[in-house]
A and B are shown apart, each in its own frame.
Chain A
């Protein structure tokens, strides 16, 4: 299993698109940060709240997973590995790519604060909890996109669903911690995007349950579905 994870990471770091996407994200962060203010914790969490990292993650996961299936390289591996191992390795790749995005964003935030004259770290516990939850919410979202690729075996449907989930929720649903509409709140609690968007505003110990449940369910369901679909599919 460890070897397969190493293989997937080797592949990830050998792809030009990985670096291009990270550069695009950094550029976007630069343009968006000018409007943000507050402590390091506030600015960092607000950057993730915008959701652009999710778009980058969506594109990365689609390109990464499709490449393996479309090039047919998997045919050379299939006698040596179990298919579910590739699905698990993809989860790790999603996690590692998200961690890199986070690390770069934090460095950018730090530099932005130095230039803009903002100071203060903010609440360390809020930062740690927020970042961990964000990290796993993003990873779960990546695994969801990866599942769509296994299901539909093309780039179009996952990218449409991914973009709609990221942009659509932000554009069409007024997300706010004090959303009075109970039904809307319940609906948002079911989506990762809803969780990410409201995480900043409602960071209390009692509000951790929803994102944790969301991460657990999404990861569990998506990994199981991906394994089942991929296991049964004939490789062309």
Chain B
């Protein structure tokens, strides 16, 4: 399998004691939207900076389009990036900011700047200086800059941070459109996991500098799918029954609640078996976990 972006043992150390990113192996295929999830300080931005060349690599390699070393360095020009806050010249207009980058990369095509601004919905900003832009407009201009040069990979670090719901929705639509219409592979990090789950096709969870797991959208949905909640006044008596039924993945949440994470085809079986063992059940229902719940649970399991 050829990956468009692959990191092997990517590591970033500050001095001898601090390891910000620890042997991270990321695999990204053409056309995917990769959601990079992690808490503050988990190492998301540092990883992205290393991939883009903004930060030095202490150990490990970054492969782009199957190439490593110097060849990969040359191919970095096919990455467009928006890392942390968008870097913009505040006294220039949106047009001038994009024009500056176009000059830098040697793009002279007529109407190119207008097209880019249209994609991100900033074509009508005229002579308004960037310092007078809203946060959402600045973020979109940051994406516009990342799009200059028609990149194959777009690296977006927290692009929806601080945006209002409408701004978030606009960015989401823009990313999806770019992915579908231009076949741009997107690597995106965000804290707003529910938003990520709306657009990403695969995910990587980073915790304390280590890539804890990589999973596809389907796998994540599967993990978030459901748990069966059993409400009973005697959880202790219910547990042997659940064991007998072959369920192993359950958790006593409080004095009246048990959550069963194993696949249960028929909840009435659970009720019948508990009733047969004289365990009173007040209710049984399916509960879907949010992506956030899954993430928090995953992280806390890791800590345990």
Interface residue ranges, A against B (CB under 8 Å): 3-4, 6-7, 10-11, 14-16, 67, 71-81, 232, 234-235
Q: Which residues of B contact A73 (CB under 8 A)?
A: 87-89, 97, 100
The reply to whether A76 and B105 form a contact with Cβ atoms under 8 Å apart is: no
A75's nearest neighbour on chain B, judged by CB, is B87
Q: Tell me if B272 is interfacial: C-beta within 8 Å of chain A.
A: no
Q: Which residues of A contact B209 (CB under 8 A)?
A: none
Q: Which residues of B contact A71 (CB under 8 A)?
A: 87-90
The reply to whether A80 and B77 form a contact with Cβ atoms under 8 Å apart is: yes
* Contact for A78 among B54, B90, B100, CB less than 8 A: B54
Which B78-113 residues sit within 8 Å CB-CB of chain A? 78-92, 96-97, 99-101, 103-106
Question: Lowest 9 A-B CB distances belong to which pairs?
Answer: A72-B87, A7-B104, A73-B87, A76-B145, A234-B55, A3-B106, A235-B54, A7-B103, A79-B76
Q: Tell me if B167 is interfacial: C-beta within 8 Å of chain A.
A: no
The reply to whether B81 and A76 form a contact with Cβ atoms under 8 Å apart is: yes
The complex places the Cα of A16 from the Cα of B90 at a distance, in Å, of: 12
15 example contacts (A-B, Cβ-Cβ < 8 A) are as follows: A14-B91, A14-B100, A72-B88, A73-B89, A75-B82, A75-B83, A76-B82, A78-B52, A78-B53, A78-B81, A79-B76, A79-B77, A79-B81, A81-B104, A234-B49
Distance (Å) between the CB of A96 and the closest chain B CB?
A: 15
A69's nearest neighbour on chain B, judged by CB, is B87
Which B111-148 residues sit within 8 Å CB-CB of chain A? 142, 145-146, 148
The reply to whether A74 and B87 form a contact with Cβ atoms under 8 Å apart is: yes
Q: Which residue among B82, B100, B101, B148 has the maximum number of chain A CB atoms within 10 Å of its CB? A: B100
Q: Which residues of A contact B142 (CB under 8 A)?
A: 76
Distance (Å) between the CB of B157 and the closest chain A CB?
A: 10
Total number of residue pairs linking A and B with CB closer than 8 Å: 84
Distance (Å) between the CB of B28 and the closest chain A CB?
A: 16
Which B31-86 residues sit within 8 Å CB-CB of chain A? 49, 52-56, 76-86
The complex places the Cα of A14 from the Cα of B99 at a distance, in Å, of: 11
A82's nearest neighbour on chain B, judged by CB, is B73
The complex places the Cα of A75 from the Cα of B91 at a distance, in Å, of: 18
Q: Tell me if B9 is interfacial: C-beta within 8 Å of chain A.
A: no
Distance (Å) between the CB of B47 and the closest chain A CB?
A: 13
The reply to whether A235 and B55 form a contact with Cβ atoms under 8 Å apart is: yes
A83's nearest neighbour on chain B, judged by CB, is B53
Distance (Å) between the CB of A193 and the closest chain B CB?
A: 32
A74's nearest neighbour on chain B, judged by CB, is B87
The reply to whether B101 and A77 form a contact with Cβ atoms under 8 Å apart is: yes
The reply to whether B56 and A72 form a contact with Cβ atoms under 8 Å apart is: no
The complex places the Cα of A71 from the Cα of B78 at a distance, in Å, of: 23
Q: Which residues of A contact B96 (CB under 8 A)?
A: 14
The complex places the Cα of A11 from the Cα of B99 at a distance, in Å, of: 10
Interface residues on chain B, size class: 35 or more
Distance (Å) between the CB of B40 and the closest chain A CB?
A: 16
Distance (Å) between the CB of A151 and the closest chain B CB?
A: 17
Q: A72-B84, A78-B54 known; A10 and B99 CB under 8 Å?
A: yes
B151's nearest neighbour on chain A, judged by CB, is A79
The complex places the Cα of A6 from the Cα of B276 at a distance, in Å, of: 82
A70's nearest neighbour on chain B, judged by CB, is B87
A73's nearest neighbour on chain B, judged by CB, is B87
Distance (Å) between the CB of A92 and the closest chain B CB?
A: 14
Q: Which residues of A contact B100 (CB under 8 A)?
A: 7, 10-11, 14, 73
Known: A6-B103, A79-B52, A79-B77. 11 other contacts (CB 8 A): A71-B89, A71-B90, A72-B85, A72-B86, A75-B52, A76-B86, A77-B104, A78-B53, A79-B80, A234-B49, A234-B54
Distance (Å) between the CB of B84 and the closest chain A CB?
A: 7
The reply to whether B92 and A14 form a contact with Cβ atoms under 8 Å apart is: yes
Distance (Å) between the CB of A232 and the closest chain B CB?
A: 7
The reply to whether A10 and B103 form a contact with Cβ atoms under 8 Å apart is: yes
Q: Which residues of A contact B85 (CB under 8 A)?
A: 72
The reply to whether A75 and B81 form a contact with Cβ atoms under 8 Å apart is: yes
Distance (Å) between the CB of A74 and the closest chain B CB?
A: 7
B93's nearest neighbour on chain A, judged by CB, is A14
* Contact for A79 among B53, B56, B86, CB less than 8 A: B53
Distance (Å) between the CB of B131 and the closest chain A CB?
A: 11
The complex places the Cα of A77 from the Cα of B146 at a distance, in Å, of: 9
Q: Which residue among B54, B145, B149 has the maximum number of chain A CB atoms within 10 Å of its CB? A: B54
Q: Which residue among A3, A71, A74 has the maximum number of chain B CB atoms within 10 Å of its CB? A: A71
The reply to whether A11 and B149 form a contact with Cβ atoms under 8 Å apart is: no
A85's nearest neighbour on chain B, judged by CB, is B104
Q: Which residues of B contact A7 (CB under 8 A)?
A: 100-101, 103-104
The complex places the Cα of A232 from the Cα of B49 at a distance, in Å, of: 13
